[in-house]
Amino acid sequence: MRISTIAFANLRRRRGKAIFLAIGIAIGIGTVTALLSLSTSIREEIGSQLDRFGANIVVVPQAGTLTLDYGGVAVSGVSFDVHQLTDDDAKRIPLIPYRKRLSVIAPKLLTAVEIEGRRMLIAGVDFASELRLKRWWQISGQKPQSEDDVLVGYEAARALSVIDGGASPKEPSGAMSHHTSDTTAVVRIRRDTIDIAGRHHHVSGVIAPTGGPEDQMVFGSLGHVQALVGKPGQLSLIEVSALCKDCPVDEIVSQIRQQLRHARVSAVQQAVRARSEAMERLARFSAVVSVVVLVIGALMIFTTMMGSVVERTREIGVLRTIGFRRTHIVKELMIEVSTISIAGGLFGWAAGTAVSWAALPYFSETRLAMQFHPSLIVFAVLAAVLIGVLSSIYPAVRASRLDPTEAMRYA
């Protein structure tokens, strides 16, 4: 009689316990599968959101700087051999090999200009890319639609008397105020036109306080500002948001440097480090929980198999009496455990995938679609078999060492 025949016969005879053990394995594997599926999808979403939340690469003109000291008196540094960035440079960045990793390219020109009799900083930007890059901006008003439309930073708006000087939770009656749907406070706009370099411009909106340099600036259309200050085609810097949750940002920086040899390209290390740390923490949390669940499953299998060996002392003793070797006993038990583990692994994978698919909408804000990972099936089955076999080695070896004469008591 073949050992596998005996093993399958035992499974049929003890169907209830086999099903119970398979369900226990399925619960452990299903929990891990659901956790891995959810964590993978959530990591993708968090990584994408972080990658799109601000720039992580900055391109500025290459220049040499010399600091002078005369008689112990420090003189301000002198810049020389300054290279100018142009619109063509911004168009060359998408030509790098990792162009599919680039989320936003936001060129801008920064310069001082006369605004309502004050010298203030104006930024010429491509509003389409700038608003994608600065997703945290809250604008009271409308997005610029024409070349004469400008956005004004909160402090600049106060200095120019564009607003009253504060934000109120409710819109005052009779006030000329505009706000977007995601603005938490309404800014009362007193006037919607300002004079910039002798030309009237329409204030389409005011940026809520950010605590950054944007509060002191005025933003206009890039081409319009370039023409207004007499710097056609010139840029002060280029901000780049790169998708780097699964690629080295240093490689992207290197490729941009190859395209723009006259520019200085730097990675904003704080932003890159924040992205990496967020992903690593989520991965570590998932790994720890998975290990705990699998250890609990292994202990359950070990306890069940130890009980099974004690229960089947008579059967194992009889097999040893009629000539079965120790290896045969171990092989029979391993076949039983492996069969149960494979069934539990497959069922656990199916249940875990279904649970993660149902639970994903509660953890995602962007309605991510659950992705099918064939490798997860292989992992579920191998993990189940590995846990089952390792947890059953000691009980199987103990069963094989039973003294054949012990069977005479139960014969």
Same structural domain, 78 and 153: yes
The domain of 18 spans 3-50+277-409
314 falls within a domain = yes
Same structural domain, 118 and 163: yes
Question: To the nearest 10°, the Cα dihedral for 158, 161, 167, 169?
Answer: -170
* Beta carbons within 10 angstroms of residue 392's beta carbon: 27
Note down pLDDT in tens along the chain; length 411 residues.
577 787 778 778 778 878 888 888 888 888 888 888 877 777 666 655 555 555 578 898 876 555 556 555 655 555 555 678 999 999 999 999 988 888 889 999 999 999 988 999 999 999 999 998 888 888 988 889 899 999 999 999 999 988 875 444 334 333 333 334 343 455 777 888 999 988 999 999 999 998 888 899 999 999 999 999 999 999 999 998 876 555 567 788 889 999 998 888 887 755 555 556 666 777 777 778 878 877 887 787 777 777 776 666 677 777 777 777 878 878 888 888 889 889 988 998 899 888 888 877 776 655 555 566 778 888 888 988 888 888 888 777 777 776 666 555 544
Question: What is the per-residue pLDDT for 1?
Answer: 57
382 falls within a domain = yes
Same structural domain, 301 and 383: yes
183 falls within a domain = yes
SS3 letters across the chain: CCHHHHHHHHHHHCHHHHHHHHHHHHHHHHHHHHHHHHHHHHHHHHHHHHHCCCCCEEEEECCEEEEEEECCEEEEEEEECCCCEEHHHHHHHHHCCCHHHEEEEEEEEEEEEEECCEEEEEEEECHHHHHHHCCCCCEEECCCCCCCEEEEEHHHHHHCCCEEEEEECCCCCCCECCCCCCCCCEEEECCCEEEECCEEEEEEEEECCCCCHHHHEEEEEHHHHHHHCCCCCEECEEEEEECCCCCCHHHHHHHHHHHCCCEEEEECHHHHHHHHHHHHHHHHHHHHHHHHHHHHHHHHHHHHHHHHHHHCHHHHHHHHHCCCCHHHHHHHHHHHHHHHHHHHHHHHHHHHHHHHHHHHHHHCCCCCCCCCCHHHHHHHHHHHHHHHHHHHHHHHHHHHCCCHHHHHHCC
Same structural domain, 262 and 148: yes
Question: What is the per-residue pLDDT for 404?
Answer: 64
Same structural domain, 260 and 325: no
* Beta carbons within 10 angstroms of residue 86's beta carbon: 15
C-alpha 257/C-alpha 244 separation (Å) is 17
Same structural domain, 146 and 244: yes
Q: Is 278 left (phi over 0), alpha (psi -120 to 50) or beta?
A: alpha
Question: What is the per-residue pLDDT for 300?
Answer: 77
C-alpha 392/C-alpha 386 separation (Å) is 10
For the chain, first and last CA: distance in Å? 20
Same structural domain, 137 and 259: yes
Tokens, residue 173 = 């009656």
Same structural domain, 83 and 140: yes
Same structural domain, 334 and 353: yes
* Beta carbons within 10 angstroms of residue 232's beta carbon: 10
Same structural domain, 335 and 288: yes
Sign of the C-alpha dihedral computed for residues 220, 224, 228 and 229 taken in this order:
positive
CA distances from 146 to 126, 138, 162, 351 (A): 12, 20, 19, 55
C-alpha 202/C-alpha 83 separation (Å) is 34
272 falls within a domain = no
pTM over the 0.95 mark: no
Question: What is the per-residue pLDDT for 237?
Answer: 93
Question: What is the per-residue pLDDT for 123?
Answer: 94
290 falls within a domain = yes
Question: What is the per-residue pLDDT for 110?
Answer: 94
Tokens, residue 247 = 């690629």
Report which of 364, 406, 411 is spatially closest to residue 38, judged by C-alpha positions.
364
The total of structural domains in the chain comes to: 2
Give me the half-sphere count of Cα atoms (radius 13 Å) on the Cβ side of residue 69. Answer: 1
C-alpha 279/C-alpha 27 separation (Å) is 27
Question: What is the per-residue pLDDT for 121?
Answer: 94
Question: What is the per-residue pLDDT for 175?
Answer: 37
Question: What is the per-residue pLDDT for 92?
Answer: 92
244 falls within a domain = yes
Max Cα–Cα distance, the chain, nearest Å: 111
C-alpha 169/C-alpha 187 separation (Å) is 9
C-alpha 214/C-alpha 137 separation (Å) is 10
Same structural domain, 74 and 177: yes
Question: What is the per-residue pLDDT for 226?
Answer: 94
17 falls within a domain = yes
